């Protein structure tokens, strides 16, 4: 069957989405754990026949290259394709190459009269393409809603991180640090695998539309993507529960010890990467204290939070300095640094000054 128009494609996806909800009605689901959830989020990437891998990546466990030549081929492919050579370059590649949802969020805000369209391209050709993309994306709003294209970005980012882990560019600890924010966002943005799967499928179509210079003649690509989506529902997604991350703090109040004797305001702000995920502090800065609460001015980050994460108030909380010292005692020697100081963690676990008295 040829899907010659977007309207026909839209009809096929809508019918398929409705059929999935009909099949799921009244059926029980199997609980999954955090690792299974992350791997299923990247299931579309695992489906691919990567030319540099001897075997497809499994759906139920992390993959590691079996032979030296496989490892070298994978590392070379990552370097040549995405300029990925280490952990920081992997993080950068994920943000740079897979950000379709950012465009959708901007479109969504305009559609709902939250913001007016602002031309940031200063390029007539790019502006024309962006406006066409806006119109194309809106055709699928009844299917994906606010979930937008994030599932596509999430699949690609986790898939890229799995390849980097497979060939040894990153460690397993670095892998989990990289992918957990994507998984947590997906867990919040969607409520079941049907929503996630539709977001992935439509995100793939939007990506194809962009790559084909805004041509809606994408029947062959749709057949492939739709086939993959059907396979994933038939064999992996259907019957699985949707994983919800705990927002409980990693340390209970009963575990807290009195580590510092602090005089003056002792509140601070720390991201959930520290207090929920229990990663060490990677970056700390002392701002001008907020006079509206008992503020010391200290702000603590894991160090790799992007702007979107850091600006979401749900991703951080107010804590006492002593509590954050329990999460990471390495910060204690630096707490008396003056307002305007920023410090970052070094490989040996100490901190070095990035800025000092920058507010003066």
As a whole number of angstroms, the distance between CA 99 and CA 150 comes to: 8
**Cβ atoms of residues 328 and 269 within 8 Å:** no
- Could you tell me which residue, 86 or 218, shows the higher pLDDT? 86
* Percent helix, strand and coil across the chain, each to the nearest 5: 55, 10, 40
Same domain, 168 and 194: yes
Which of the residue ranges 65-69, 123-127, 158-162 has the most confident prediction, judged by mean pLDDT?
Answer: 158-162
Same domain, 218 and 117: yes
Domain containing residue 139: 6-237
pLDDT at 1 over 60: no
- pLDDT category at 219 given cuts 50, 70, 90 is confident
DSSP notation for 167-209? TTSS-HHHHHHHHHHHHHHHHHH-SSHHHHHHHHHHHHHHHHH
pLDDT (average), residues 157-175:
95
User: Each residue of 13-49: pLDDT tens digit?
Assistant: 999 999 998 887 767 789 999 999 999 999 999 988 8
C-alpha dist (Å) from residue 208 to 32, 45, 53, 122: 32, 16, 25, 24
Structure tokens at 32: 């999954």
pLDDT at 214 over 70: yes
User: Each residue of 115-136: pLDDT tens digit?
Assistant: 655 556 567 777 788 888 999 9
Q: Is the residue at 140 inside a domain?
A: yes
Long-range contacts, 95-102 (Cβ 8 Å, 24+): 95/306, 97/156, 98/152, 98/153, 98/156, 98/157, 98/160, 99/153, 100/148, 100/149, 100/152, 100/153, 100/203, 100/206, 100/207, 101/148, 101/149, 101/150, 101/152, 101/153, 101/203
User: Each residue of 297-324: pLDDT tens digit?
Assistant: 999 999 888 877 888 888 899 999 999 9
**Burial bucket for residue 39 (CB in 10 Å: 0-12, 13-18, 19+):** buried
Last residue of a domain, one of 237, 261, 284: 237
Task: Please state the domain count of the chain.
Answer: 2
**Cβ atoms of residues 134 and 21 within 8 Å:** no
Same domain, 220 and 342: no
Q: What is the mean pLDDT of the chain?
A: 89
Coil, helix or strand at residue 16: helix
Burial 41-78 (b: 16+ CB within 10 A, else e): bbbbbbbeebebbeeebeeeeebebeeeebbebbbebb
Q: Is the residue at 248 inside a domain?
A: no
Same domain, 306 and 232: no
Same domain, 78 and 198: yes
Same domain, 299 and 153: no
Sign of CA dihedral 310, 316, 318, 319: negative
Same domain, 60 and 203: yes
What does the CA dihedral 110, 114, 117, 119 come to, rounded to 10 degrees?
-130
Q: Starting at the edge strand that comes first in sequence, how are the strands of the sheet with 295-301 ordered?
A: 316-320, 267-271, 295-301, 283-286, 342-345, 351-355
* Of residues 179, 176, 180, 162, the one with CA closest to residue 74: 162
Residue 116 confidence (pLDDT) = 58
Same domain, 97 and 131: yes
Lowest mean pLDDT among 66-80, 117-131, 236-250: 117-131
Lowest mean pLDDT among 6-15, 133-142, 350-359: 350-359
Residue 302, φ and ψ in degrees, nearest 5: -70, -30
Q: Is the residue at 52 inside a domain?
A: yes
DSSP notation for 82-135? H---SHHHHHHHHHHH--HHHHHHHHHHHHTTSS-----S--HHHHHHHHHHHH
Residue 119 confidence (pLDDT) = 57
pLDDT (average), residues 153-170:
96
Q: Is the residue at 328 inside a domain?
A: yes
How large is the angle between the packed helices 172-189 and 87-97, nearest 10 degrees?
30
Q: Is the residue at 245 inside a domain?
A: no
Same domain, 226 and 269: no
Q: Is the residue at 285 inside a domain?
A: yes
Q: Is the residue at 247 inside a domain?
A: no
Q: Is the residue at 182 inside a domain?
A: yes
Quick one: which H or E segment has residue 136? Answer: helix 124-138
**Cβ atoms of residues 228 and 39 within 8 Å:** no
C-alpha dist (Å) from residue 241 to 25, 33, 163, 194: 13, 10, 26, 11
Same domain, 226 and 125: yes
* Of residues 76, 80, 52, 86, the one with CA closest to residue 66: 52
Lowest mean pLDDT among 19-23, 60-64, 243-247, 356-360: 356-360
- pLDDT category at 158 given cuts 50, 70, 90 is very high
Last residue of a domain, one of 202, 237, 272: 237
- pLDDT category at 56 given cuts 50, 70, 90 is confident
Same domain, 171 and 293: no
Same domain, 192 and 260: no
Lowest mean pLDDT among 37-51, 139-153, 209-223, 257-271: 209-223
Last residue of a domain, one of 237, 269, 287: 237
As a whole number of angstroms, the distance between CA 11 and CA 328 comes to: 53
Coil, helix or strand at residue 267: strand
């Amino acid at each position: 069957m040829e899907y010659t128009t977007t309207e026909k494609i839209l009809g096929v996806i809508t019918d398929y989405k409705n059929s999935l909800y009909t099949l799921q009605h009244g059926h029980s689901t199997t609980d999954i754990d955090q690792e299974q959830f992350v791997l299923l989020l990247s299931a579309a990437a695992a489906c691919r026949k990567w030319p540099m891998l001897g075997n497809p990546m499994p759906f139920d466990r992390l993959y590691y290259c079996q032979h030296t030549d496989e490892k070298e081929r994978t590392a070379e492919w990552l370097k040549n394709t995405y300029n990925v050579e280490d952990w920081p370059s992997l993080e950068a590649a994920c943000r740079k190459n897979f950000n379709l949802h950012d465009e959708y969020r901007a479109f969504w805000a305009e559609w709902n009269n939250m913001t007016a369209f602002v031309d940031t391209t200063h390029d007539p050709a790019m502006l024309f393409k962006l406006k066409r993309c806006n119109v194309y994306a809106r055709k699928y709003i009844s299917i994906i809603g606010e979930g937008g294209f994030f599932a596509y970005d999430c699949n690609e980012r986790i898939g890229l991180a799995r390849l980097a882990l497979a060939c040894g560019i990153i460690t397993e600890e670095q892998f989990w640090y990289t992918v957990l924010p994507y998984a947590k966002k997906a867990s919040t943005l969607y409520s079941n695998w049907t929503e996630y799967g539709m977001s992935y499928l439509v995100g793939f179509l939007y990506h194809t539309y962009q790559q084909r210079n805004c041509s809606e003649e994408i029947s062959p690509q749709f057949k492939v993507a739709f086939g993959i989506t059907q396979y994933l529902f038939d064999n992996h997604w259907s019957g699985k529960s949707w994983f919800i991350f705990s927002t409980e703090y990693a340390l209970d109040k009963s575990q807290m010890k009195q580590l510092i004797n602090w005089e003056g305001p002792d509140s601070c702000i720390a991201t959930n990467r520290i207090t929920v995920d229990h990663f060490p502090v990677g970056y700390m800065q002392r701002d001008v204290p907020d006079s509206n609460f008992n503020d010391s001015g200290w702000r603590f980050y894991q160090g790799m939070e992007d702007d979107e994460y850091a600006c979401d108030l749900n991703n951080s909380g107010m804590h006492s300095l002593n509590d954050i010292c329990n999460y990471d005692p390495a910060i204690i020697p630096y707490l008396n640094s003056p307002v305007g100081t920023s410090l970052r963690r070094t490989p040996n676990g100490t901190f070095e000054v990035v800025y000092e008295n920058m507010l003066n």
